[in-house]
Amino acid sequence: MSSLLFTPLQLRGVTLKNRIAVSPMCQYSCEDGFANDWHFVHLGSRAVGGAGLVLFEASGVTPEGRISPQDLGIYKDEHVAPLARIVKFIHEHGSVAGIQIAHAGRKASKTPPWDGDKAVAPVAGGWVPEAPSAVAFDDQSTIPTALDAAGIQRVIRAFADATDRAKAAGFRVVEIHGAHGYLLHEFLSPLSNQRTDEYGGSYDNRVRLIREVTRAVRQRWPEDLPLFVRLSATDWVEGGWTLDDSIRLARLLKEDGADLIDCSSGAIIPGVKIPAGPSYQVPLSAGVREHAGIATGAVGFIQSAFQAESILRTGQADLVLLARELLRDPYWPLHAAQELHAQVAWPKQYARAQH
């Protein structure tokens, strides 16, 4: 029986050679948002390793939209050339390059995780974060500035301008980051959005910004190239964003021009007990796929070839995104093909190791 994992996936005018994607993973290794040799080797090796789609890490659409001062950026034209160098290599090796464009909201201006994920003060090279409401993520975080109407329009323009830069760099997929407690998710969840204007309160008001961003990005992104949106499909806490909310939003985002919903979860507030384990988020992907009628990606503790194959074969997702497993093994797709008896070409430089 042929492997679905190694069946091509067509989205608009782009065909992925298989259904394995490198999930966006922050490397906290930049200066002023510029990609460098670390990113070239890190991302390029995953293309050599056989992934069908290589998604670059969350890239700030504004300087203030970065999670840390060391994050990748796509907020100025000078960022394009070093990104384009990596994109070219990825495409030369048969994978598709995509980029996640993001604004970290109230979770911005932090140190890298290995330095404690602490707030970085403006005097130390950080900044005051922006958010829907002037409510900090936790006691160790800076109280953010609530975006006013002009600030919201500035954010929408920044996402649109970042899309132009993604096109100039040669990317063939753009993913809007609407998950993990960052800005767009902060507007969605009643746990973080305390606004009383047209961007707060009712469901329609809370989804307004992500829909406006999606439409603005779709308008700038070529018609033949696919657009993804990553959502935290549930907050895992009573009174928060739910799977039903995500299904309803996915239908709207499909109307707005999205092609795939990348279904993650959580991270809107600290201290939530999440039932994490192998495939724990797959039911979220399955629910959105079934009830919203849109392609989905599943992510979260997907570790084995047979696990990934099962997710696809049971109709729970169209694409599987791997993070930690691809950190452990950049060549996971090549090894998975061997396990599933799928015939895939190895890089000719490595062919002697195939058998």
Q: Tokens 């791997």 belong to which residue?
A: 322
What is the pLDDT at residue 355? 85
What is the pLDDT at residue 1? 65
Boundaries of every domain in the chain: 9-353
pTM above 0.85, yes or no: yes
Instruction: Annotate 189-220 with DSSP letters as a single string.
Output: -TTT----STTSSSHHHHTHHHHHHHHHHHHH
Looking at the chain, which runs of residues are DSSP E strands? 9-11, 14-16, 20-22, 53-60, 96-102, 130-131, 145-146, 173-178, 227-232, 260-264, 295-299, 319-322
Residue 152 confidence (pLDDT) above 70:
yes
**CATH architecture, range 9-353:** Alpha-Beta Barrel (3.20)
Q: Which of 298, 230, 240, 299 is nearest to 268 (CA)?
A: 240
Q: Residue 83: helix, strand or coil by DSSP?
A: helix
Q: Which of 28, 75, 182, 199 is catalytic?
A: 182
For 11-65, how does the pLDDT look when each residue is reduced to its tens digit (9 = 90+)? 999 999 999 999 999 999 999 999 999 999 999 999 999 999 999 999 999 999 9
Mean pLDDT of 332-339: 97
Residue 97 confidence (pLDDT) above 90:
yes
Q: Which of 314, 244, 252, 302 is nearest to 22 (CA)?
A: 302
Rounded to whole angstroms, how far apart are CA atoms 241 and 245? 6
Neighbours of 56 (CB within 10 A): 29
For 197-237, how does the pLDDT look when each residue is reduced to its tens digit (9 = 90+)? 999 999 999 999 999 999 999 999 999 999 999 999 999 99
Burial of 70 (0-12, 13-18, 19+ CB in 10 A): buried
Q: Judge whether 182 counts as a catalytic residue.
A: yes
Residue 343 confidence (pLDDT) above 70:
yes
